[in-house]
Amino acid sequence: MDSGSEEDQRPLPSTNLQSENPLPLSPGSGWRPGDGLSLNSPVSLGGLPVPELMRADLDQLFFDRVHPIVPILQKARYFSWAQKAAATEHQQCLQYAMWTLAMALSTRFEQMRDLFYTRTRQMLESLDLDEHDMGQAHIEQAQAWILITFYEFLRTNYRRGWISAGRLFRLVQLLKLHEVDSPTNVIGQLSDVSSEAPVAIEEKRRAFWIWTNLPSLEADFQAGHAVQVCFLSEALASDENSVFSPLAECVILSTLCGRALSHNQASLTERVCGNASVGFWVRHEWLDGMLSQRVQVFQLSYPAVSVFADPMLLFTFMVTHSVTIYLCKIVELVGENGEFDDILVKYQERALIAAREIARLSSNQGHIGYFKAHVFMPVAIFLGAERLIAHRNSHLQDGLMVEEEKSVDVELQGCIEVLRKMQCVNNLAKHYLEILEPGGSKTSCPLQ
């Protein structure tokens, strides 16, 4: 499993967690805002013991394993309130969400994580029922839902994670995070000495970056420096080869992935209506050009040797190759009648190179540790494996060279083996493994 997880072997702090009966998720019972959770108490939540040593252990586990793939919190700001007994209910919910996701990435807390998840969900849902707080919106509540949504994709199922993601989007709207960097807000921040600290504003950007400035460099964020980056829309429209932080690059490339999904849906509609041609290639060539530009800059800014030192960088490289493969799939659908064979061959060649890069990168995941892999990495691995299968099957009739066939099979088996190892800590890996392995009856989930 995860090499380099010595802390997983240490004995757990002495608690009575196993003897506790989990409270139901019913809004009519259990914890309520204002119940007076004490972070200094050995029993902090409805009889749920969280000793001080265990809290410290979970905090460290979070920033070691969770924060590199979900970098939404500033460490100093978190500890400034986490060590105080006067933390708000929303901050306490965030803390338990942090601990819940941290437990999901460690074998030490395997028997506790479901209980923590149940209690954290109960706390969050209770906040929505607080009639005295209807006019308030708190960033910690949104951050807690982000972490719980990641947990659900990782450890429960796609359906539950998707529903929670929708709930999070509504909360983001209530928080008006899309207005964080609006001209009105920016002017108010400059003129009001009591306005939020730059770190607090950056945390809001990292919670919802679609209509805000892109995330700054991690070092600047953790140091509390106010560094303003361009908007996502500006980065997509610019011809400049600007260098962004790994998180910002991931945001840009994930947006391109989303645009590719929308492009595919539009092309399906156009084909049904019988007017597919000019509009399709305008969109497709823009996506392809933007992807090529970002990949070139990304590779120059972050040498291959640095990829395996940063889980976010590794995942971002995976995303670039996934978009390349997906663009090829779109052209294959449009060119089914052989109309674009010359163009299709070029896209298939690039898609194969991308699939092999995914296989190579995923084979090195064990060096980083499977507990540190991004939650959605199995999606990229599946796309790579699927492309390798398609290449092998399409060339068998053409007399694929024996050596090339062996090479493709080795890369394919490498992808499947990584998914096998990841399935113990990632249910998305398990889902895609069941599709790829012989006899698999499942179809790919909507994340693809």
pLDDT in tens, 93-141: 999 999 999 999 999 999 899 999 999 999 999 988 876 665 566 899 9
State the Cα–Cα distance between residues 186 and 86, nearest whole angstrom: 30
pLDDT, tens digit (0-9, with 9 covering 90-100), for 152-165: 999 998 899 999 99
Question: Minimal CA–CA distance to 321: which of 381, 363, 269?
Answer: 381
If you average pLDDT over residues 290-295, what whole number do you get? Answer: 92
Task: Please give the backbone phi and psi of residue 182, each rounded to the nearest 5 degrees, phi first.
Answer: -70, 155
Taking phi over 0 as left and psi of -120 to 50 as alpha, with beta for the rest, 374 belongs to beta
Distance of CA 337 to the CA centre of its chain: 37
pTM: 0.85
Number of neighbours of residue 283 by Cβ within 10 angstroms: 18
The H or E element containing residue 43 is strand 43-45
pLDDT, tens digit (0-9, with 9 covering 90-100), for 34-51: 444 443 444 454 446 688
Residue matched to tokens 């090829």:
328
Helix 139-155 and helix 427-436, axial crossing angle in degrees, nearest 10: 30
State the Cα–Cα distance between residues 345 and 440, nearest whole angstrom: 29
Query: 71, 220 in Cβ contact below 8 A?
Result: no
State the Cα–Cα distance between residues 149 and 158, nearest whole angstrom: 10
State the Cα–Cα distance between residues 172 and 163, nearest whole angstrom: 14
Sorting pLDDT into bands at 50, 70 and 90, what band is 274? confident
3-state secondary structure at position 275 = coil
pLDDT, tens digit (0-9, with 9 covering 90-100), for 241-255: 888 999 999 999 999
Higher pLDDT, 144 or 447: 144
Task: Inform me whether the pLDDT recorded for 222 exceeds 90.
Answer: yes
Higher pLDDT, 14 or 398: 398
Residue 146: its pLDDT value, please?
A: 97
Number of neighbours of residue 402 by Cβ within 10 angstroms: 8
What is the DSSP annotation of 303-354?
Answer: -HHHHTT-HHHHHHHHHHHHHHHHHHHHHHHHTTTSTTHHHHHHHHHHHHHH
